[in-house]
Amino acid sequence: MTDAVVDAFADAADIKPRELSRGYTWAECPRWHHGALWFSDMYAHRIVRLDADGTPETVIDFSDRTSVNGTEVIPGGFGWLPDGRLIVTSMHERLVLAWDGRSLTVYADLRELATGPVNDMVVDADGRAYVSQLGFELFAGEEPKESLLIVVEPDGSARNLTELGGFWGANGVAITADGTKLVTAEAFANLITALDRDPTTGALSGRRVFAQTPSLPDGVCLDAEDGVWAGMPALPGLARFTDGGAVTDVIRFDATVAIPPACVLGGADRRTLYITAGLDVLDWEESRRNRRGSIWTAPVPVSGGESRP
């Protein structure tokens, strides 16, 4: 842990996490939906639903899917359309897939738009999806470079949001309850970036820095006061940032036990922060062998309200 990280969190309130469940590969992209936690068990090729007592159920198994480009089918961010279908990024295929409860179909083909693996995603109330991408082949050792956010409209058409400029590894992405703001973590710029959003058309504008972070930010979620919880793998832990960069709360982890990339607010009043964690993110086979991925919870002072995801 660097001195800069220590100093940034010195005045923040410490919240203690509690382990809820264990035995996953790299657990990512948590969502709260219909009273339960859902997340991507990435290198096990599945989306998992977790009951309140921590019992997992595989909802979607991608193991038998034939990839369109010969890569592994690894699920990333996901969300639900107004008609109830779940849509999910297939990271290395560079697709958005749709699950109707029985079968998977291609919802949006992003291969002509994405310059690297597609990553996280948030879906608005109208079924419009904003997709982040790494922009480069991280797992092949390439150097980071800028890439564009992608929007998939409710009719399934997709385009790059070139008018916003490039992002340095846009990662977690979230929308405020009133739909007027979108935030994303620029992992390789140590930034949380905010954009104004037209709640009717979904158009984004007014890009600005929400918070400068002391280390790489990963997955994010918003609370009802527009605070941003961000996974901070280098801490390792999570921190809550307010507009301007102040840190109000921090959750710390032992790096030999769990490194948490992402979080979502859930529970009956959405005052419980659900945290996904793991230890083997870059070595997929090691991750599958060890199954050291885990899910944690922590009580927080501000509800998630109606923010997305």
User: pLDDT tens digits, residue range 251-260?
Assistant: 999 999 999 9
Q: With a cut of 70, say whether residue 5 has pLDDT above it.
A: no
Q: Is the pLDDT of residue 309 over 60?
A: yes
pLDDT at residue 160 is higher than 60: yes
**What would the pLDDT profile of 62-121 be if each residue is shown by its tens digit?**
999 999 999 999 999 999 999 999 999 999 999 999 999 999 999 999 999 999 999 999
Ramachandran sector of residue 139 (left: φ over 0; alpha: ψ -120 to 50; beta: rest):
alpha
Query: Which residues are annotated binding-site positions for a divalent metal cation?
Result: 28, 171, 218
pLDDT band at residue 1 using 50, 70 and 90 as cut-offs: very low
- Which residues carry a binding-site annotation for substrate? 119, 137
DSSP 143: P
Q: Say how far residue 77 (Cα) sits from the centre of its chain.
A: 6
Query: Residues near 280 by Cβ (< 8 Å), separated by ≥ 6?
Result: 25, 26, 286, 287, 290, 292
CA-closest candidate to residue 262, choices 236, 224, 284: 236
- Which of 218, 261, 264, 302 minimizes the C-alpha distance to 33? 264
Query: Residue 126: is its pLDDT beyond 70?
Result: yes
Q: How far is CA 20 from CA 17, 37, 270, in A?
A: 9, 11, 16
Q: What is the CA radius of gyration of the chain?
A: 17
Paired tokens of 4: 């800069």
Distance CA 49, CA 33 (A): 9
Indicate whether 142 pLDDT > 90. no
Q: Spot the catalytic one: 41, 120, 124, 218.
A: 218
DSSP-based three-state secondary structure for 276: strand
| Cross-strand partners of 14 | 250
Instruction: Establish whether 218 is a catalytic residue.
Output: yes
Instruction: Provide the whole-model pTM.
Output: 0.95
Which domains, and CATH codes, for the chain? 3-299 (2.120.10.30)
Closest CA to 301 of 37, 33, 13: 13
Binding residues are: 28, 119, 137, 171, 218
